[in-house]
Amino acid sequence: MLIRKNLFIVLSLAAIIVTSACAGRGTPDVSATLAPMYTAAAQTLQALTTQIPMAVTTNVPPQTIPTPTNTPIVPSLTPPAPPTSVPPAPPAVTRCDWVGWVGDVSVPDGSSFAPSTSFTKTWRLKNIGTCTWTTAYALVYSSGPQMGGPAAVNLPGNVAPGQVVDLSVSLTAPSAAGHYRGYWLLQNPSGVKFGLGAQATTPFYVDINVVTPTLTSTPTLTPTPTPTSIPYPF
């Protein structure tokens, strides 16, 4: 805007000068008269154009450039937590023939008997396998004192998986005093024995103590002497 104003002033002065020249001298050579004026106007315009940016640049307030600071990066001493992974659940173990322990129905562990006393041991067992125990299955002697029991006793009926059954065997306490434990298992129709535990190989047992009765002596009664009277002479 300032450039246009200055240019207008220069051209106006040139026009006034030309008019004055024409009035005093008649008809002058316009080209010869205006050429120096145009040159002077162009030089003035160039000077104004150069001065304006310098003025604008000079009036710009100085800007402060922040000095970058070097902040040291302290490495973390805490190791990153390892990714947590949930291990897959192990597959459920299944077995065809497998015994689960429920409890003793009769003759709990440590029961005492006199020598050669007959008794009946009963276990309560559960079928935790996948196969049904039929009457072809049997309760069989495994190891330890047999206590006069049979080698095998067939099951009284079918026992489906998940069912409970009471199995009994007739035994006789040994004739000598002491502690006795006999082990028993079940057996399938193929003759394979099975029992408790993760591998279905642990037997169940009967545990007793044979105690000799203590004989007590009958005390001997000593008769009390009867006092005799002595007659006095008169």
Q: Is 183 helix (H, G, I), strand (E, B) or coil?
A: strand
Phi, psi of 84 (to 5 degrees): -90, 135
pTM for the predicted model, two decimal places:
0.56
pLDDT tens figures, 55-114:
444 455 566 666 666 666 666 666 667 667 777 766 677 899 999 999 999 999 999 999
What pLDDT is attached to residue 232?
46
Q: Give the range among 31-40, 96-105, 182-191, 213-222 with minimum mean pLDDT.
A: 31-40
Burial state string for 166-196 with b = 16 or more CB within 10 A and e = fewer than 16: ebebebebbeeeeebebbbbbbbeeeebbbb
| CATH code for the part of the protein at 99-210 | 2.60.40.10
Average pLDDT over the chain reads 79
Radius of gyration of the chain (CA): 64
Is residue 135 within 8 A of residue 155, CB to CB? The reply is yes
Quote the distance between the C-alpha of residue 45 and its chain's center. 86
More confident residue, 77 or 152: 152
